Amino acid sequence: MKKETEEKLARALTAETTELIPFLPYLLQDLWELGSCPQDMIKLIKKYVPISKDTKILDIACGKGPISIRVAENFGVNVYGFDLLPDFIKRAKEKAREFNVEALCHFTCADANEIVNTETGYDCVIFGGAGDILGNPQETLNKLRGTVKQGGFILIDEAYLSDSSSNDEVNYKNYDYLTQKQWMELFDKCGLKFIEELHSGEDYDFDHDNKVIAARAEELSKKHPDKKALFDGYVQSQLNESADLENSLVGVTWILQKL
Ligand SMILES: C[S@@+](CC[C@H](N)C(=O)[O-])C[C@H]1O[C@@H](n2cnc3c(N)ncnc32)[C@H](O)[C@@H]1O
């Protein structure tokens, strides 16, 4: 794997160093959803995306498949999910069986930067909480745009700076966050119509996630005492990220349409 891809993979899962990558499936084993809000995605699809038996949905960086599986369950359509981590893809397949949607969910281990070149003609693409793995915001929007048909839809889970905040106040920062206005300008520039935004993070129970991750980090520290600082650092990054989403960032789910 390229060094840059590895670094972005680590950062997309709130890890500040690639040394944590082998431990991420263990640290995150108690969580199914890893970033985005499947309920908001479902609400937006229900409201705007015309569904037929031929509708095809792409889920880029699908993680353990929480969005794909709920989309298949709610709409009975085929969903194609891709993620770089084999452990997550394995778990996504198990979950699809558990929810009786394995015939509709097609999960594959692959790099998002490669599949955006080969997966095209979709009715809708989902990009949930995966940060900058496809590049800067403009590159990300253009790559996602390329995967859907004319008139197709793009759902993105992201975060932007709240009105009163600046990037200096963000504790866990992979990259500089844009403001909502900057994102809206980029949508225009990339030929994407903004349709609606839902504020996902407001009711989210970050405490629960932070506690289960901290418990797994403690187990790992006992097993690998030489790496305690690494695992403690991961727990701190999670705390910083959730504090940012409560204080200086606004977590959103957008639905956009390709013009
Ligand atoms: C924050 S998680 C979100 C997962 C899922 N969308 C969800 O909402 O639960 C980010 C995901 O991006 C995946 N990822 C990171 N880099 C990737 C890449 N280059 N190609 C595919 N997936 C990647 C990670 O493995 C991880 O599952």
3-class DSSP assignment, residue 99: coil
Lowest mean pLDDT among 145-149, 154-158, 185-189, 200-204: 200-204
CA pair distance 160, 223, nearest whole angstrom = 38
Q: What pLDDT digit, counting tens, does each position of 120-139 carry?
A: 999 999 999 898 999 999 99
Domains defined along the chain, listed by start? 3-9+34-202+250-254 (3.40.50.150)
* Residue of 59, 85, 108, 134 to test ligand 1 pocket, by largest number of atoms within 8 Å of CB: 85
Query: CB-based burial of residue 226 (10 Å sphere; 0-12 exposed, 13-18 middle, 19+ buried)?
Result: exposed
In this predicted model, what pLDDT tens digit does every residue of 25-84 receive, in sequence order?
Answer: 999 999 999 988 899 999 999 999 999 989 999 999 999 999 999 999 999 999 999 999
pLDDT of residue 202: 66
Distances (CA, A) of 14 to 2, 3, 69, 153, 164: 19, 17, 24, 27, 24
pTM of the entire structure?
0.95
Residues with CB under 6 A from ligand 1: 5, 8-9, 12-13, 33-36, 61-63, 66-67, 82-85, 88, 111-113, 128-130, 133
222: number of Cβ within 10 Å: 9
